[in-house]
Structure 1
Amino acid sequence: MSGSTGAGPRGDDAGNGPETESDTDTADTMRERAGENRVKLWLLLRANRLVVAGVLTVAVFVAFVAVAAVISPSLAEKLGSSDPIETLFASMITAIVTGATLVVTIGQLVLTQENGPLGDQRERMDDTLAVRDDVAELIGEPAPTDPAAFLDALLAAAAGRARALRESVRERTDEDDSDRPGLQGDVDEFAAGVVGNADAARSRLDGSAFGSFDVVFAALDFNYGRKLGGIERIADEHGEALTDGERDQLDALREALSLFGPGREHVKTLYFQWALIDLSRLILYAAVPALVVAGAMVTVVDAGTFSGSTLGVDHVTLVVGGAFAVTLLPFSLFVSYLLRVLTLAKRTLAIGPLVLRDSE
């Protein structure tokens, strides 16, 4: 992947043996920091949103049919004395139209952030180019334009500078200086965490395309905030033992990590906008068949439309349950996307070396 030049080989320092993900603190990964069940985290973040919406829709259908089949009197008997179908689906038509209108409003709010006078657009461009210049100076080549490659380049720079700091400390360790051995141990452990965590995140970024959740999820697995805190601790505890060159290398590593933070947040923000626009479009697509089904149920279906039963369940119950689940499809899409967006927002509330209990 572009942007990885100059960072040294991944996971293998010359003469020091390979570094694997097991060498890093397990709290570096978002799953370990969150303390969530693997299946729950997969459902909230990794699972395809359309699949999640489909599962929710099927669950609604099964629950509706199960409840309708066990209650007494049955749905078929109630249809003979009243018209619950018209009441139910007339309300659903109102809810679908209102929900679709709300979604269009949300989409407009998202797009509004991209609109503005010429001066504001020029300021956005200047700020963006200034950051790209900083990244280009950091990595020694033009900053990549692909989001995954952009983050990969920052991770490669952080790993390379962590290796350089470790080698510098190793070369200058003097057994007569009681501070140096302690410094070397702390720097070795810290650098191994940075390199191992960066290599693991880069392996997940490799081949990821923006628009999918893969780029953002891979970036979440690099715990840059804790590493910035580690740099502050090393500088505080071993400040007198560090040479001027090592302080410069520590500052260089801090610079790489501090650029990764806003870079990740920018990519995350773009993903939020991308996902909300996709959500708005999908809900509008789903609203049309949902309205057709709800309208058909109000005007066509009555107690005699679907007679008979299968396995003790009235056919009319199956039809009403299926129609109800279909009319709820826009809401299921809304829930599936919001579960991911809100979970991601909660896990990334803090920027920099600030650890929140709920996110860590």
Structure 2
Amino acid sequence: MALRRWLLLTGNRRAVVLALLVGVYLTLLPLGTLAPGEINALLGDRGSVAALLNTLLSGVILLVSVVASIASLVVSQELSPVGRQRERVESTREFRESAEALIDREVSPAEPAAFLRAMTRAVLERAQRLDDAVAGRTPAHPGADEAVAGDLDAEVEAYLDHAAANTERVNRTLQEADAGTFEVLLAALEYDYAGQLYALRRLRSRHGDQLPEEASEAIAELVDALQFFLAAREYFKSLYFEREFAELAADLLYVSLPAILLVSYAILAVDLQFIDGEIAGVPFILVFAAAAYTVALGPFAVLTAYVLRVATVAKRTLSAGPFIIEEDGFEFGE
């Protein structure tokens, strides 16, 4: 599980690329010892090796062109008239002013990590205010299903515990990481805002006529705070996607040019039959072909490492709306 999380989310993408390439090489190399006769016969036909490397070389060149086009498309979204840029600035200012009123500060934090902590703290404070407002108001029903209202005080207490656990998990993630754009997004992904919104709406539906005015106001403020949190998370996600595609394009270019040169040299070396002999009983052509094949897969490994994380983030943020899609969503009062 830890390895899967590192591969999909937390691992440095360049380290993931290196791990993938090492895995490919260590998988190919033992083939010469498992089936030496068949492998030697295959590698004896130098034309087959050269044809495979030539196919991979064409694929690398095509991949660079495609990713460069995607990166250009992402960058083009930032190119807009001055009027639209001014609207974006005004929208950001209005959002910050609303957030400052929500967290009760004259100036909202400029760093994403501090801003996220302030938002989760605001949610927790309002959850505590809701708990104080309904303390001691307990109807007789146990609330065994969706249709029957249960213990109001117990349900609010359960919500408060859940909000506190979410806040603690987010703060722990931010403290353990460098609090960069992705670290902030990762912490936001661990915050179950959708489950909290659902719990608040069901709480208001079940006990709307029994809620005191202070509790109703606290629920309204909680909903506003969670919606602000969602807006901030989606903004951080957009920043992360832009940065990730920019880094993908740069790393792909860094890897592709050496890969093209080395694979081209490998094709010439195989065609001219420069490769011969053995190393520790293993044909040198196998060692050389496995290395050339691994180098040729370098750009594809870069693409795989970045797309895996982007796809994982996109999948984890599908609940940006009224539904809870994650399997581990908060089950309130079930």
TM-score when normalising by structure 2:
0.88
The 2-side partners of 1:126 and 1:184 are apart by 42
Q: Pick from 1, 10, 15: which aligns with 1:46?
A: 10
The reply to whether residue 248 of structure 1 matches residue 217 of structure 2 is yes
Check conservation: 1:49, 1:337, Cα contact below 8 A. yes
Q: Pick from 199, 216, 219: which aligns with 1:230?
A: 199
Alpha-carbon distance, 1:254 to partner: 1.3
Q: Pick from 281, 290, 298: which aligns with 1:312?
A: 281
Query: Which residue of structure 2 lines up, in the alignment, with residue 115 of structure 1?
Result: 79
The 1-side partners of 2:137 and 2:268 are apart by 89
Structure 1 pair 239/212, CA: closer, same or farther in 2 (3 Å)?
closer
The 2-side partners of 1:252 and 1:193 are apart by 17
Check conservation: 2:121, 2:167, Cα contact below 8 A. yes
The 1-side partners of 2:151 and 2:41 are apart by 81
Q: Pick from 166, 170, 179: which aligns with 2:131?
A: 166
The reply to whether residue 287 of structure 1 matches residue 256 of structure 2 is yes
The 2-side partners of 1:95 and 1:240 are apart by 66
Overall identity of the aligned pairs, in %: 29
Query: Which residue of structure 2 lines up, in the alignment, with residue 300 of structure 1?
Result: 269
Query: Which residue of structure 2 lines up, in the alignment, with residue 326 of structure 1?
Result: 295
The reply to whether residue 342 of structure 1 matches residue 311 of structure 2 is yes
The 1-side partners of 2:71 and 2:295 are apart by 23
Check conservation: 2:32, 2:283, Cα contact below 8 A. no
The 1-side partners of 2:51 and 2:8 are apart by 34
Check conservation: 2:259, 2:295, Cα contact below 8 A. yes
Check conservation: 1:279, 1:334, Cα contact below 8 A. yes
Alpha-carbon distance, 1:314 to partner: 0.6
Structure 1 pair 317/201, CA: closer, same or farther in 2 (3 Å)?
same
Q: Pick from 79, 86, 101: which aligns with 2:50?
A: 86
Kindly provide the CA deviation profile for residues 46-67 of structure 1, in whole angstroms up to 9, marking residues without a partner as x: 2222222112112222232233
Write the letter of the residue equivalent to 1:155: T
Write the letter of the residue equivalent to 1:194: A
Q: Pick from 180, 196, 199: which aligns with 2:165?
A: 196
Write the letter of the residue equivalent to 2:113: A
Query: Which residue of structure 2 lines up, in the alignment, with residue 147 of structure 1?
Result: 112
Which residues in structure 2 correspond to 1:260-279 (within 5 Å)?
A: 260-279=229-248
Alpha-carbon distance, 1:89 to partner: 2.2
The 2-side partners of 1:44 and 1:146 are apart by 25
Structure 1 pair 291/245, CA: closer, same or farther in 2 (3 Å)?
same
The reply to whether residue 157 of structure 1 matches residue 157 of structure 2 is no
The 2-side partners of 1:238 and 1:61 are apart by 62
Query: Which residue of structure 2 lines up, in the alignment, with residue 64 of structure 1?
Result: 28
Structure 1 pair 43/270, CA: closer, same or farther in 2 (3 Å)?
same
Query: Which residue of structure 2 lines up, in the alignment, with residue 103 of structure 1?
Result: 67
The 2-side partners of 1:78 and 1:166 are apart by 73
The 2-side partners of 1:202 and 1:327 are apart by 42
Alpha-carbon distance, 1:84 to partner: 2.3
Q: Secondary structure at 1:301's aligned position in 2?
A: helix
Alpha-carbon distance, 1:310 to partner: 3.1
Q: Pick from 114, 123, 133: which aligns with 2:97?
A: 133
Q: Pick from 143, 151, 174: which aligns with 1:205?
A: 174
Query: Which residue of structure 1 lines up, in the alignment, with residue 144 of structure 2?
Result: none
Check conservation: 1:308, 1:315, Cα contact below 8 A. yes
Check conservation: 2:316, 2:326, Cα contact below 8 A. no
Q: Secondary structure at 1:213's aligned position in 2?
A: helix
The 1-side partners of 2:140 and 2:297 are apart by 69
Alpha-carbon distance, 1:107 to partner: 0.9
Kindly provide the CA deviation profile for residues 101-129 of structure 1, in whole angstroms up to 9, marking residues without a partner as x: 11111111111111111222122222222
The 1-side partners of 2:272 and 2:32 are apart by 15
Structure 1 pair 225/272, CA: closer, same or farther in 2 (3 Å)?
same
Unpaired stretches in structure 2, ≥5 consecutive residues:
142-148, 330-334
TM-score when normalising by structure 1:
0.82
Alpha-carbon distance, 1:230 to partner: 0.6
